[in-house]
Structure 1
Amino acid sequence: MPSRDWRQRIQDILVSITEIEQRINGITFEEFTKNPTIVKAVLYDFVVIGEATRNIPNEIQSRYPLIPWRLMGGMRNVVTHEYFQVSLMRVWETIQNDLPSLVPQLQEVLQTEVSGE
């Protein structure tokens, strides 16, 4: 049995998204790229997001096909294994364009699945 329930893993994703948003709040892309502490903290949160995603059961993932589960896990793989290929512009674009819409989707998963049990 996994050490953490999949619902806790979704909460981990939501916490990581919040922490990323807090870290980059009020800074520009240029400021982001010049601050290795923030960059590394953000990349760590993407690893957490991807790792947590890998532990969401396939049956849950298949019920929510609009959530980019594979891409979330894929980003973790790049940050972890292909770290020398990380594009900070792509990371920034993901933060700006993808993370905000992911929050309500994940909250819906939690609400629907918990109330449906």
Structure 2
Amino acid sequence: MALDAILRNLAVAGEAVRELPDEVRTQFTSTSWHSIAGLRNIVIHEYFRIGNKIIFDVVDNHVGRLVDEIRSRLSGTGETEVAADE
């Protein structure tokens, strides 16, 4: 059940990334937007190709860093909210 929720959230994040304006993407040059959108496509369309190990690697090693980077950028703008809750 938890894995289903994780996959759903990764899919939503990937869809959101596809809608980001270029000006936002350029503010986060260390972020691989293409990879995030690509993971969404695999989760939605080719879920049988992806193993749990890969998903947990993404969650453990990449999602937290991305959220931290976004929060850091928002703190400089006066914004305080990030959509993803930890």
TM range (shorter): 0.7 to 0.9
Q: TM-score, normalised by structure 1?
A: 0.60
Larger radius of gyration: 1
Looking at secondary structure, tell me which structure has more helix per residue: 1
Q: Please tell me whether residue 96 in structure 1 is matched to residue 38 in structure 2.
A: no
Q: Percent of counterpart pairs with the same letter? A: 28
Q: Structure 1 residues 54, 113: closer, same or farther in 2, change over 3 A?
A: farther
CA distance in 2, matches of 1:75, 1:48: 11
CA distance in 2, matches of 1:75, 1:112: 29
State the number of aligned residues. Answer: 79
Which residue of structure 2 lines up, in the alignment, with residue 61 of structure 1? 25
> What value does the CA root-mean-square deviation take over the aligned residues?
1.7
CA distance in 2, matches of 1:114, 1:58: 21
Q: What is the correspondence of 1:1-117 to structure 2 with a 5 Å cutoff?
A: 37-112=1-76
3-state SS of 1:63 partner: coil
CA distance in 2, matches of 1:76, 1:113: 29
Q: Which amino acid aligns with 1:69?
A: W
Extract unaligned runs of 5+ from structure 1: 1-36
Extract unaligned runs of 5+ from structure 2: 80-86
Q: TM-score, normalised by structure 2?
A: 0.79
If asked which structure has higher relative contact order (CA below 8 Å, sep 6+), I would say: 1
